[in-house]
Amino acid sequence: MSSEFRTTEFAALWPDPARREGFLGATYGPVWQRFRLSPDLNRAEAHEFSPDWAADVRSWVIVTAWNPGGQYQAEWINAEAHQRLLQRVSRAGVTPLLSFNGEQEWRETALILPGASLRDGIRLGREFAQAAVLYGVGRRAALVWLGTDRRKVDRGGVERRRAERCRVERYWVHDVNAATAEG
């Protein structure tokens, strides 16, 4: 078979298992409405929780500038990076909502970008050297694992020149307070 008919190999790397577990175990969102990522949703939960900040927007992105590449940084370095992210988002005309990713020593200041597209999230995540961003539509969320290439991203998360792709894992947004009340 000639090379022009060979299938294209999926180029995105699998995330480090420990890092992936950290993302899946973390909470996200503003202080008044924290959530976790859950692979399934039972019928009772389906109508009980919908993030109020996502009610009137088509899609949303959560991105941070803290701890690029998963490497712990001093708080002042993270604060400066967050200010650069905030300026970048403001220049684009987006009004962000303050959010937090994670807890305790890995609690990172983040931004919810109402109305942002998947492409917006990928670009910002790569620009600020993040391992992943969250992209959502309503109660559905995708954990989008990014490569380290910061160049312009084409449709579908593919960088044209290198065919670098993102790895996407789909989840439901699960209310942290509901889980606390049940337990």
Instruction: Answer whether residue 2 shows pLDDT above 70.
Output: no
**Left (φ > 0), alpha (ψ -120 to 50) or beta: where does 12 sit?**
beta
Q: Does residue 1 lie within any of the structural domains?
A: no
> Measuring CA to CA, which residue among 108, 110, 135, 103 is closest to residue 121?
135
Q: Does residue 52 lie within any of the structural domains?
A: yes
Question: What pTM did the predictor assign?
Answer: 0.81
Over residues 125-135, the pLDDT tens digits come to: 999 999 999 99
Over residues 71-113, the pLDDT tens digits come to: 889 999 999 999 999 999 999 898 999 999 988 777 899 999 9
Q: Do 35 and 28 meet the contact criterion of CB atoms below 8 Å apart?
A: yes
User: By residue range, what is the domain housing residue 128?
Assistant: 9-182
Q: How many domains does the chain have?
A: 1
